[in-house]
Structure 1
Amino acid sequence: MRPYVLLSCAMSIDGHIDDNGPERLLLSNAEDFDRVDEVRASCDAIMVGAGTVRRDNPRLLIRSPERRHRRVARGLPPDPVKVTVTARGDLDPECAFFTAGDGEKLVYASASAAVPLAGLLKDRATVIHTGGPGDTVDLRLVLDDLGRRGIRRLMVEGGGGLHTRFLSERLADELQLVVAPLFVGDPAAPRFVSGGDLPKGRLNLTEVVKIGDVALLRYRLR
């Protein structure tokens, strides 16, 4: 059984997830960061694209000691499994995705990248080859494999290319979208989604929550 897929993203009013400056643009606030930590604690795995691993160097760990303890009390590891997907295989084994935390790390790679990555990452992550045309990664096969590994709830935290794929391929169950009260105003800045065969028609809005100066919008996708 494939996991329930939850897409999580913070964006500006004009749909950007970052600007083109040297530092990461913080779109959320402390209260929402804590909410995201709670959502992470409710999931079995967190996925980001390889571009996000390279650009943002995320740790993808649960911050709250209390939430970590509650997971352990339920028989779960302190942190969710970390997952990334890569077509090119250009990942640094010293980045925080691999070095932070003792939990399991999974890398789904294209045919051309899988063997070199397995040698590069060695004992830092499990590298899995998932078939796809050319040098692509088949997300359906990724979800199938995660399901076999016991992942029942998957949180996808971006970036935009990965969110676009999950939406275009109708593989997401829920979208949690946080809108920050600012404009980026740069057409070249990264966006929440870009092109693709995105869902048509009006989505099912299930909740709107004001969290400080940002708004959380929750949508059911299927």
Structure 2
Amino acid sequence: MHVVVNAAMSADGKLSSRRREQIAISGPEDFDRMDALRADSDAVMVGVGTVLADDPHLTLDDADRRATRRERGDPDHPARVVADSRARTPTDARILDDAATTYLLVSEAAPEERVEKLEQAGARVVAAGDDSRVDLARGLSELADEGVEQLMVEGGGELIFSLFEADLVDELRVYVGSKILGGRDAPTLADGEGFVADFPELELRGVDRIDDGVLLGYAVEENES
């Protein structure tokens, strides 16, 4: 599986404000680029924190791209994936509509009653993890068995850190916008516990000016440790 992390952050590295409100960091050209990347992917993944904060739909905006997917035998929209250790996704979340298949990766800590309700709401629940958190390597392996060859990850910072920690990221594409958000408690590109050794190394592959910001494209170098 090829894993592409795509994110937009402020010039000071924040994904949103300290209130964790959705903020438009990029503009129309970058939104279109992101839609094209979604169209080229088999699935789009977020963490449950993003679902709770933003209630995203994670579907394609462009009708021509949906038509192109149909022509090649794919569903109109890529599948949607949520890393949700304790099955906290609301049963009325937009990602649980019938626009696309939605997988929820849960751990053994997920209450059975919540899992049943989410399955009734249309989710395909994948148990992948111990009693505290999702085992992302195992979860992505399950998705690969379902035919997911390219996975686009849209955040948030906790999920992105966890994927880097598990050495599962192949590419990072990050749009740096012309805003300063500030705040020691504002989410960053990679939150979590943070690295103190074996820092992931990136190779810069491209720099493009888009809207009023810059798109940086990185390949993730293989961890030799």
TM > 0.5 = yes
Equivalent of 1:139, from 123, 136, 139?
Answer: 136
For residues 27 and 84 of structure 2, the distance between their equivalents in structure 1, rounded to whole angstroms, comes to 30
| Cα displacement string for residues 135-173 of structure 1 (whole angstroms, at most 9, x for unaligned residues) | 110001011101100100000100000000111221100
Equivalent of 1:61, from 55, 59, 64?
Answer: 59
Q: Secondary structure at the match of 1:204?
A: strand
- Which structure 1 residue ranges, 5 or more long, are not aligned? none
1:115 alignment counterpart: 112
2:178 alignment counterpart: 181
For residues 81 and 89 of structure 1, the distance between their equivalents in structure 2, rounded to whole angstroms, comes to 18
The answer to whether structure 1 residue 221 and structure 2 residue 191 are counterparts is no
1:49 alignment counterpart: 47
Contact 2:14-2:189 at 8 Å conserved across structures: yes
For residues 153 and 170 of structure 1, the distance between their equivalents in structure 2, rounded to whole angstroms, comes to 16
For residues 204 and 194 of structure 2, the distance between their equivalents in structure 1, rounded to whole angstroms, comes to 21
In the TM superposition, 1:197-216 aligns within 5 A as 197=195, 200=199, 202-216=201-215
1:192 alignment counterpart: 189
For residues 128 and 114 of structure 1, the distance between their equivalents in structure 2, rounded to whole angstroms, comes to 13
For residues 171 and 50 of structure 1, the distance between their equivalents in structure 2, rounded to whole angstroms, comes to 19
User: What TM-score comes out, normalization by structure 1 length?
Assistant: 0.93
For residues 55 and 148 of structure 1, the distance between their equivalents in structure 2, rounded to whole angstroms, comes to 30
Q: Secondary structure at the match of 1:187?
A: coil
Deviates further, 42-51 or 103-112: 103-112
Q: Secondary structure at the match of 2:109?
A: helix
Equivalent of 1:33, from 26, 31, 34?
Answer: 31
1:8 corresponds to which letter in structure 2? N
1:129 corresponds to which letter in structure 2? A
The size of the alignment, in residue pairs, is: 218
Equivalent of 1:105, from 82, 102, 107?
Answer: 102
- Which structure 2 residue ranges, 5 or more long, are not aligned? none
Contact 1:118-1:126 at 8 Å conserved across structures: no
For residues 34 and 74 of structure 1, the distance between their equivalents in structure 2, rounded to whole angstroms, comes to 21
User: What TM-score comes out, normalization by structure 2 length?
Assistant: 0.92
Distance change (3 Å), C-alpha of 1:49 and 1:69: same
Deviates further, 193-202 or 44-53: 193-202
For residues 105 and 201 of structure 1, the distance between their equivalents in structure 2, rounded to whole angstroms, comes to 30
